[in-house]
Amino acid sequence: MEIVFENVTYKENTRTPLERTYLKDVSFSLNENKVYAFLGDSKSGKEKLASLINATSLPSKGYIQIGDYFNDGRHIKKVNNLRMNIGYVKMNPLDFEINKLVKDELAFGLKYFKYKLKKEEIRSKEALKLVGLPEEILNRRVYNLTIRERKLLSIASSLIFNPNIIILEEVTAFLLEKDKENIKRLIRIMKEKYGKMVILITKDTDFAYEVSDEIYLVSDGKVEKCEKEVLLDASILNRYNLNTPRIVDFITEANKKNANLTYTPNILDLIKEVYRNV
């Protein structure tokens, strides 16, 4: 499924004292089943990309093409056929959840996208297992879960209807290290085994460096496509108010002391590299 942004401008509260432009004349296209990372500082406008792809917001100018659908401010016929192909996970799970019980929260998408409800419980259990939550929480109240569990639940609720595009907004927030590892594994499976497109919207350069295939830097409503090597350049990242990945910092420091390590995206490759060269 191809996503094309064509001269998209997005404003809120137009012609009022609170008018704000989030995206300015943005054009890019995502057309392969890869992991795309949109990196940018808070309020750079990157979070608005997700709501425009999901057609929950309308562009002020330009259009967004998602497969056969166009989000150009006009009425979209059978919008649910578009949205069932997009799983959108928000940063804060409290902004995402609607239902009282965990099982209702998981089944919400299935119910309204008109999936066969006979398999509802099996799919709910599978979705929970996928994100590393126990089946026992199915009958618990969402309100009584910890913030980490709620975050994982929001990921499960978006994956349960098997979307082709998965948008993860600050996916590592509120999660433990073991959850992050699980999410990385999940993203790899989604991309490699099931051929899905994953869009990461994040400030977490460590996570993006490890899992992403293409990098887009977002600042002041402008989106710029970059090579992955941009994550090795502290001066560029500082301009966007981003940190260099810790693993890059480590290798750069080690190379200053003649360690001669090549830049690797994950810790296991780095260990191998250290064994080989040091």
Residue ranges binding another protein (CB under 8 A): 12-13, 15-18, 51, 54-56, 58, 75-76, 79-80, 83-84, 86, 88, 90, 95-100, 108-109, 111-114, 143, 157-158, 161
Residue whose CB is less far from another protein, 168 or 208: 168
Residue whose CB is less far from another protein, 62 or 109: 109
Provide, rounded to whole angstroms, the least separation between the CB of residue 258 and another protein. 52
Q: Are 214 and 31 in contact (CB under 8 A)?
A: no
Enter the tokens of residue 250. 């480590």
Within 135-204, residue ranges assigned H as helices are 147-159, 177-192
Provide, rounded to whole angstroms, the least separation between the CB of residue 86 and another protein. 8
Residue whose CB is less far from another protein, 160 or 208: 160
Residue whose CB is less far from another protein, 15 or 178: 15
Residue whose CB is less far from another protein, 9 or 99: 99
Enter the tokens of residue 115. 């999936």
Provide, rounded to whole angstroms, the least separation between the CB of residue 80 and another protein. 5
Residue whose CB is less far from another protein, 16 or 139: 16
Task: Report d(CA 179, CA 10) in Å as an integer.
Answer: 34
Provide, rounded to whole angstroms, the least separation between the CB of residue 96 and another protein. 6
Provide, rounded to whole angstroms, the least separation between the CB of residue 52 and another protein. 12
Task: Report d(CA 134, CA 149) in Å as an integer.
Answer: 10
Residue whose CB is less far from another protein, 97 or 179: 97
**Among 220, 224, 245, 226, CA closest to 41:** 220
Residue 213 φ then ψ, to 5°: -105, -35
Q: Are 16 and 75 in contact (CB under 8 A)?
A: no
Provide, rounded to whole angstroms, the least separation between the CB of residue 143 and another protein. 6
Angle between helices 147-159 and 102-112 (to 10 degrees): 20
| Sign of the alpha-carbon dihedral angle for 17, 22, 26, 31 | negative
Provide, rounded to whole angstroms, the least separation between the CB of residue 166 and another protein. 12
CB-based contacts of 45, cutoff 8 Å, min separation 6 = 10, 22, 23, 218, 220, 221
Task: Report d(CA 138, CA 141) in Å as an integer.
Answer: 8
Provide, rounded to whole angstroms, the least separation between the CB of residue 182 and another protein. 23
Residue whose CB is less far from another protein, 51 or 212: 51
Q: The tokens 């940063």 sit on which residue?
A: 91
